[in-house]
Amino acid sequence: MVERIDMSVEAMERERVARFKDLKSSAKAFIDALIPGYERDLYNIVGRGVMEDKELKPPITDNRDFNVGLIKADAGKGASPHIHETNEVFIPLTGKWAIYWQNRDGARHEVILEPYDTVSVPIGLSRGFRNAGEETSLMLAIVGGSDPGRVHWPEETVEEAKRHGIGLDENGDLVVLESAAE
C-alpha cells in the first residue's frame, strides 16, 4: 500500500506544475537537430528523458518511471532514425505526424497520426518522425523509465552531425565541436 502524503498549493506549483508559457525549448536537443531536415524544438516537462542538451532543465524533476516532453517542428521536419532503450509514446497535439521505422532487412514503414492518436514504439526499433502536415505542429513524447538511457544513433547520423559542427561528449551530452568554432 502506498503511504498517503500531503502537499501545499505552493509546493505543488513549485515542484509539480509546468506552465507552457514558462517552458524553455532547445533547438539543439539532439545531435541530428542541426542536420537539414531534422530541425525541431524540444521542451522537457517531466524529467530529462534522453535529451542530449544538458542545459535544458525540466520544470518537473520527479520522473519515476517516465519522462514527458513536447516536440515542435515545422512542416517536413522531424527526427532522424534512432533507437531507444525504453518504449517511446507519441501523441500529436496539432497537425499530422509520420512515425516511421526501418526493419533490419531494410524495409521502411510509416504510420500517419492525427491529433490525439497514440503510438507506442517498442524498445530497439529504429524509428524517426516528421511533421507530415503543412504548418508548425506540436507532439507529446513520453519516454519510459526513470533512467531511459541514451539515444543510439546510426554511425551515418553521427558523422553527418560532425559535418554540421555537433557531437557528443563522453557522457553523451551535446557539444559544439572545435572544428565548427574555426
23-48 confidence digits (pLDDT tens):
999 999 999 998 999 999 999 999 99
Amino acid at 47: G
Give the C-alpha separation, 1 to 145, whole Å: 22
Q: Is residue 162 part of a domain?
A: yes
Q: Can you give the pLDDT at residue 179?
A: 64
Strands 174-176 and 166-168: antiparallel
Q: Which of 51, 40, 107, 102 is nearest to 74 (CA)?
A: 40
Q: Is residue 103 part of a domain?
A: yes
In contact, 82 and 129? CB cutoff 8 Å: no
- Provide Rg for the chain, Cα atoms: 17
Q: Is residue 16 part of a domain?
A: no
Q: Is residue 108 part of a domain?
A: yes
Backbone angles phi, psi at 34, to 5 degrees: -100, 0
Looking at the chain, the whole-number percentage of residues with pLDDT higher than 90 is: 93
Residues in the chain: 182
Q: Is residue 169 part of a domain?
A: yes
As a whole number of angstroms, the longest Cα–Cα distance in the chain is 59
Q: What is the pTM for the complete model shown? A: 0.92
Q: Is residue 97 part of a domain?
A: yes
Domain with 94, as residue range(s), is 23-181
Domain count, the chain: 1
Q: 77: domain CATH number?
A: 2.60.120.10
Q: Is residue 12 part of a domain?
A: no
- The answer, yes or no, to whether residue 180 has pLDDT greater than 60, is no
Give the C-alpha separation, 37 to 93, whole Å: 21
Q: Is residue 11 part of a domain?
A: no
